[in-house]
Amino acid sequence: MRDLEDIEPAFDPAGLIPAVVQDARTRRVLMLGYMDAEALEATRTTGLAHFHSRSRDELWKKGGTSGNTLSVTGISTDCDGDALLVSVEPTGPTCHNGTISCWDTQPTDREPGFADLEPLWATVSSRATERPAGSYTTKLLDDPDLAVRKVTEEATEVLMAARDHRRGEATDQRLAEEIADLTYHLLVVCAERGISPAMVLEELRKRRR
């Protein structure tokens, strides 16, 4: 990605340019918006994606109401300079319908998949950058030994819940809750050590071969 200051977009006669938004980690396309000169400047200045609302004819910051902002890591133009590719790190789901991507057409009652971990990872990684006071994730990130110990504790809880589940002494829900706790703490360790989950998935992909 070229530096934001180097972008020289070719705006259309209405002063707009389409902006395709892509997750910087997963490369998944999240949304399509439109920028004018004001939105591009606001994006450059704040580091958060801003767009021009064609329906309201005004500047708007993505996530200004929902909190699901898009931290911009880079912007590039296409070969003709009349379209932008905006690389971002999302905080929460991007679509106003609550889905990760505006192209996520599956019904809201679908069975969750691994893609649903993306908002959790976005939150954990943002905590690693911002370190907000009072956050449990921040507490773990500030104490790497505690974060690793919690992984050990949660793995033990999974072991015990799985054993009880086999005996009929634990419900599916309890086992799922313990696995969820372990998954969260593993992501915290990834963030603390600067390891992207993509590296873990790539390792699994290589092993699958």
Question: 72 and 131: one domain?
Answer: no
* pLDDT tens digits for range 71-130: 999 999 998 889 999 999 988 788 887 788 888 765 445 556 676 677 788 889 889 989
- Report d(CA 18, CA 15) in Å as an integer: 10
Q: Is residue 109 part of a domain?
A: no
Calculate mean pLDDT across residues 59-63.
Answer: 91
94 versus 19: which is more confidently predicted?
Answer: 19
- Specify the number of domains making up the chain: 2
Q: Is residue 57 part of a domain?
A: yes
The CATH number covering residue 60 comes to 3.10.20.810
- Is a pLDDT exceeding 50 seen at residue 1? no
| pTM (predicted TM-score) | 0.54
Instruction: Dump strand ranges (E) for the chain.
Output: 17-23, 29-35, 50-53, 58-61, 70-77, 84-90
Tokens 């679509």 correspond to 95
- Report d(CA 70, CA 47) in Å as an integer: 9
* pLDDT tens digits for range 146-160: 999 999 999 999 999
Question: 23 and 81: one domain?
Answer: yes
Calculate mean pLDDT across residues 39-68.
Answer: 90
171 versus 113: which is more confidently predicted?
Answer: 171
Instruction: Give the angle subtended at the CA of 41 by the CAs of 121 and 2, to the nearest 5°.
Output: 65
Q: Is residue 184 part of a domain?
A: yes
Which pLDDT value is given to residue 107? 45
Q: Is residue 96 part of a domain?
A: no
Residue type, 135: S
Which pLDDT value is given to residue 115? 64
Q: Is residue 105 part of a domain?
A: no
Question: 86 and 119: one domain?
Answer: no
Which pLDDT value is given to residue 209? 65
The CATH number covering residue 174 comes to 1.10.287.1080
Last residue of a domain, one of 90, 122, 148: 90
Question: 83 and 10: one domain?
Answer: yes
Question: 78 and 119: one domain?
Answer: no
Q: Is 207 helix (H, G, I), strand (E, B) or coil?
A: helix
Question: 13 and 72: one domain?
Answer: yes
Q: What residues make up the domain containing 36?
A: 4-90
- Is a pLDDT exceeding 50 seen at residue 2? no
Q: Is residue 124 part of a domain?
A: yes
Question: 134 and 186: one domain?
Answer: yes
- Report d(CA 30, CA 22) in Å as an integer: 5
Pair 21, 94: CB distance under 8 Å: yes
Q: Is residue 181 part of a domain?
A: yes
- Report d(CA 156, CA 91) in Å as an integer: 31
68 versus 170: which is more confidently predicted?
Answer: 170
Calculate mean pLDDT across residues 159-171.
Answer: 96
Question: 127 and 202: one domain?
Answer: yes
CA nearest to 18, candidates 44, 2, 1, 40: 40
Which pLDDT value is given to residue 5? 55
* pLDDT tens digits for range 65-75: 777 889 999 99
Q: Is residue 143 part of a domain?
A: yes
- Is a pLDDT exceeding 60 seen at residue 26? yes
